[in-house]
Amino acid sequence: MEAAELAELIRERTRSGELLVSADLEAAIEDRHIPVSGRATEPLDIPAIIREVMISHPDIQMIEDDSGGAWYFSEQSMTVAYAQLQLLKGRGPLGMMAEVIREHSRVYPRPVPLALFRCAPFSLSDDDIALCLKEMTGLLPYRDIAHLTTSIGNLYAYSTDHLEPVYAAMLAEWADVGQAENP
C-alpha cells in the first residue's frame, strides 16, 4: 500500500462519518508495510509516512484531542468543525453539551436551543438532554452552565462565564420569538 492507498483509507472512514485515530492509522501502515518512497528495506518511519500522505494529499487533515492524540480525516467529506464535534462526542453527552454551550456563548455570543442536541450529529433524546441538564446542575465542572425557558416554552442553555443571565434571556427570547414575529 502506498500513500495514495492510505489516503483512500482515511477518505473511506471519513465518508462513513468517522475519524481515524493515529493508533489505527499506524496499525494499518504496519499491517500493510507501506513503504516511504520505495524504501521498503529500511525500518518503518511511521511519522514520515503520515507526513508524506498529508503533503501529497492536501485533503487529509489532522486534529488533536485534549490529550494531544492525533485524529485524521478527509476534507472531501468532513469539515474541520464537524471533525471537532466528533471528538467532543467522545467526552460523553455532558462534556459534549457543555463545550457546545460554552462555544456558542463565547464565540457568537448566544444561548443554545436545547432542541439542537436532538439533531445529528448529537442525536440525543429529550430524556438524555433533561438528564444532562439535571446532572450539570450538581457538578462543579459544569457550574457555569445555566438554562432558561422562553415565553413560548422552549429551553435554552448558556455559559455564565460568557453571558450575563439577563442578556442570555433577551437573546433567547429574540431567537425564539422576536425574529419570527418581526421578519
Report the chain's C-alpha Rg in angstroms.
Answer: 21
Chain centroid to CA 168: 24
N-terminal to C-terminal alpha carbon distance within the chain: 56
In which residue are the cell numbers 492525533 written?
A: 70
Interval 13-44: pLDDT, tens:
999 888 988 888 888 777 765 454 555 555 66
Q: How far apart are CA 136 and CA 94, in angstroms?
A: 7
Domains within the chain, CATH numbers bracketed: 3-86 (1.10.10), 91-181 (1.10.10)
pTM score, whole prediction: 0.76
Strands ordered across the beta sheet of 70-74: 20-21, 70-74, 60-64
Average pLDDT of every residue of the chain? 88
More confident residue, 109 or 177: 109
What is the structure's pLDDT at 46?
75
Interval 57-93: pLDDT, tens:
999 999 998 888 899 999 999 999 899 888 888 889 9
**Contact in structure between 28 and 5 (CB atoms under 8 Å):** no
